[in-house]
Amino acid sequence: MDDVLSDLSARLRASLLEGLPAEALLTDPQVTASYATDMASFCAAGTPAVVVLPRTVEQVQHVMRTATALRIPVVPQGARTGLSGGANASDGCIVLSLVKMDRILEISTVDRIAVVEPGVVNAVLSRAVAERGLYYPPDPSSWEQCTIGGNIGTASGGLCCVKYGVTAEYVLGLDVVLADGRLLRTGRRTAKGVAGYDLTRLFVGSEGSLGIVVQAVLALKPAPPRQLVLAAEFPSVAAACEAVCAVMEAGLTPSLLELMDRTTVHAVNALARMGLPEATEALLLAAFDTPHAPEDLAAVAELCTAAGATAVVPAEDQAESELLLQARRTAFPALEALRPATMIDDVCVPRSRLGEMLDGTAAIARARNLLIGVCAHAGDGNTHPIVCFDPADEDETRRARESFGEIMALGLSLGGTITGEHGVGVLKKEWLARELGPVGMEMQRAVKQAFDPLGILNPGKLF
C-alpha cells in the first residue's frame, strides 16, 4: 500500500512538473504541512501530498488536468484566514494556493470595475481603488491578509454590509478553471446582464468546491465621504437591539451599525487600553458616510436615547471616529486573548429577532458556565458569539462545543442561518443539512455533481 502511494506521489510530481516550473511545486513535508489549515478551531485537516503555487491561468489548468487524470483531490487556498476550515487540506491532496496570482489587471473609473487575479489582498485592492476615487466595500476583519479569491470563496462580509452588502454583490464576472481543466468565463463587465443562468453567483460562496476562480471582474462604488461614528451605551443588550430596530425602521441607512457586549468591551480595553465605558452592558456604534451624516447621527442619537441609552457620544471628528472603529476591529483579537482558544459563531437572524438571539446566547453561556463574548453586525442581524475556553480543560471544551451547536440551533429557530459570512467549511457541515433540509441538500449535491462529477474539488467541505 505504501508503495502504491509513493508511486502515485511520484507520478503526481512528475505530471505537475510537465506544466509547472520547479519553484511552483512544494514537496518538503515540513513546508507542505504549514499549508494544512486555515484559522478555524476544531476542524480536521489532512496531510497534503504537494502544494502548488501557480502564477498563470494555464498553470492552474495544468494542475486541474493532472488532478483529474490521477483522481487526486484539490484544495484551493488563499491567505487561509477562513474561520470554518474550508481551506483545510485533506490527506494526499494537492493544495492549490492562488496567492502568487496577485495582479490587479485593470481599474476603470468610468465603468467602475476592477479586474483582478484571485491572490490580490483585499486591502491592497481597497487602497488601489481608493487612489482612483473609488471604493471596494467588502471589508472582512482579516482584510489586511485575506485575498479576493478567498473572499469570493466564502462570500465574505465585514462591517460595511448593513449599507453595502457582501462580496457577492460586487462580483460581476469570473474566469473559472473547471475540475477537468477547461476554462469557463461567467458573467460580464457590464453593469447589467441576464444572458443565461447566473453561474457567477453560483461560484461565489462555493468554497472552492465547483471550480478555481482565476480572475474576477469586481464592481466598485465611488468613494464616499469618511464615516462619522457615534457610540451609545445601553443598560442591556435588549435595549441596544431595540435601538437597532428603531434605526432601521426609521428609514436610516447607516454605513455601520455594530454592537459589542460587556465581555467584548472589557476585552478590548484589556488588550488595547481603548478606554471604552466598562459599566455598560452593550455598546452600539453607528456610522454614516454621506454629506448629511451629522443630521443622521443626530437622529440615531435620539432613537438610542428613546430606547434607553445611558450615554450617547458622537465622535467629535475623524480621529475620534477612527478610534471607535479601531476598537471594534480589535474585538476578535481581544476576545482571543482572554483564553487559550476560541470558537467563533456566525449566526445571522432577521434583525427583528436580534434581541432574542443575543439574550438566548447569554442564557446558553450561563447554562454552560462559559465565557462567551458577543460582537455583532447588528444592522444585519449577524452575530459573532465567540466562545472562549481552554482546550486543556476537557469538560470546558465539551461545553464549548455544545454551546456552539446550541447557538446555531437557536439561530435556526429564530428564522436565521448558521452562517452569515464565514461559510460552512468543515465546521458546520452537519448543520448545513439541518438548515437546508433534504430537498435543499439534494439540489446542492446535484449542482456539485454537474460541475465536479469526480468529486475532486475540495472534497469533504460543505457536505
DSSP state of 93: P
Q: Which of 67, 417, 457, 460 binds a copy of itself (CB under 8 A)?
A: 417
Contacts of 196 (CB under 8 A, 6+ apart): none
Q: Is residue 22 part of the contact set for a copy of itself (CB under 8 A)?
A: no
Contact positions with a copy of itself (CB under 8 A) in 276-335: 290-292
Alpha-carbon gap, residue 335 to 338, rounded angstroms: 5
Q: Is residue 459 part of the contact set for a copy of itself (CB under 8 A)?
A: no
Which span sits near a copy of itself by CB under 8 A: 13-21, 99-107, 197-205, 398-406? 197-205
Residue written as grid cell 494526499: 92
Report in angstroms how near the CB of residue 423 gets to a copy of itself at its nearest. 6
Cell of 48: 497534503
Q: Is residue 421 part of the contact set for a copy of itself (CB under 8 A)?
A: yes
Contact positions with a copy of itself (CB under 8 A) in 368-387: 377, 379-382
Contact positions with a copy of itself (CB under 8 A) in 326-355: 348-352
Report in angstroms how near the CB of residue 268 gets to a copy of itself at its nearest. 24
Residue written as grid cell 443565461: 196
Contacts of 454 (CB under 8 A, 6+ apart): 68, 71, 179
Q: Are 264 and 256 in contact (CB under 8 A)?
A: no
Beta bridge partners of 314: 230
Contact positions with a copy of itself (CB under 8 A) in 228-257: 245, 248-249, 251-253
Q: Which of 432, 456, 457, 461 binds a copy of itself (CB under 8 A)?
A: 432
Q: How far lies 463's CA from each of 78, 177, 458, 459, in Å?
A: 21, 22, 10, 8
Q: Is residue 109 part of the contact set for a copy of itself (CB under 8 A)?
A: yes
Report in angstroms how near the CB of residue 432 gets to a copy of itself at its nearest. 6
Count of residues near a copy of itself by CB under 8 A: 88
Q: Is residue 415 part of the contact set for a copy of itself (CB under 8 A)?
A: yes
Report in angstroms how near the CB of residue 132 gets to a copy of itself at its nearest. 10
Q: Which is nearer to a copy of itself, 1 or 251 (CB)?
A: 251
From the list 63, 1, 61, 57, the residue with the least C-alpha distance to 26 is 63
DSSP state of 147: B
Which span sits near a copy of itself by CB under 8 A: 9-17, 47-55, 88-96, 439-447? 439-447
Q: Which of 144, 169, 359, 393 binds a copy of itself (CB under 8 A)?
A: 169
Q: Which is nearer to a copy of itself, 123 or 202 (CB)?
A: 202
Alpha-carbon gap, residue 400 to 403, rounded angstroms: 5
Report in angstroms how near the CB of residue 436 gets to a copy of itself at its nearest. 6
Q: Which is nearer to a copy of itself, 169 or 320 (CB)?
A: 169
Alpha-carbon gap, residue 307 to 310, rounded angstroms: 9
Q: Which is nearer to a copy of itself, 244 or 276 (CB)?
A: 244
Q: Which is nearer to a copy of itself, 53 or 162 (CB)?
A: 162
Contacts of 408 (CB under 8 A, 6+ apart): 345, 347, 418, 428, 431
Q: Which is nearer to a copy of itself, 252 or 270 (CB)?
A: 252
Q: Are 147 and 214 in contact (CB under 8 A)?
A: no
Backbone angles phi and psi of 365, in degrees to 5: -60, -45
Alpha-carbon gap, residue 224 to 130, rounded angstroms: 10
Q: Is residue 100 part of the contact set for a copy of itself (CB under 8 A)?
A: no
Long-range contact set of residues 318-323: C-beta below 8 Å, sequence gap at least 24: 318/226, 318/228, 320/229, 321/226, 321/227, 321/228, 321/229, 321/287, 323/274
Q: Which of 123, 168, 313, 341 binds a copy of itself (CB under 8 A)?
A: 168
Q: Is residue 222 part of the contact set for a copy of itself (CB under 8 A)?
A: yes
Report in angstroms how near the CB of residue 418 gets to a copy of itself at its nearest. 6
CA dihedral sign of residues 199, 86, 459, 56 = positive
Cα atoms in the Cβ-side hemisphere of radius 13 Å centred on 48: 29
Report in angstroms how near the CB of residue 430 gets to a copy of itself at its nearest. 12
Q: Which is nearer to a copy of itself, 73 or 420 (CB)?
A: 420
Alpha-carbon gap, residue 328 to 300, rounded angstroms: 19
Contact positions with a copy of itself (CB under 8 A) in 27-56: none
Cell of 435: 438548515
Contact positions with a copy of itself (CB under 8 A) in 118-137: 133-134
**How many CB atoms are closer than 10 A to CB 295?**
11
Which span sits near a copy of itself by CB under 8 A: 38-46, 56-64, 119-127, 410-418? 410-418
Q: Is residue 416 part of the contact set for a copy of itself (CB under 8 A)?
A: yes
Q: Is residue 413 part of the contact set for a copy of itself (CB under 8 A)?
A: no
Q: Which is nearer to a copy of itself, 273 or 437 (CB)?
A: 437
Report in angstroms how near the CB of residue 192 gets to a copy of itself at its nearest. 4
From the list 425, 317, 406, the residue with the least C-alpha distance to 41 is 425
Report in angstroms how near the CB of residue 319 gets to a copy of itself at its nearest. 24
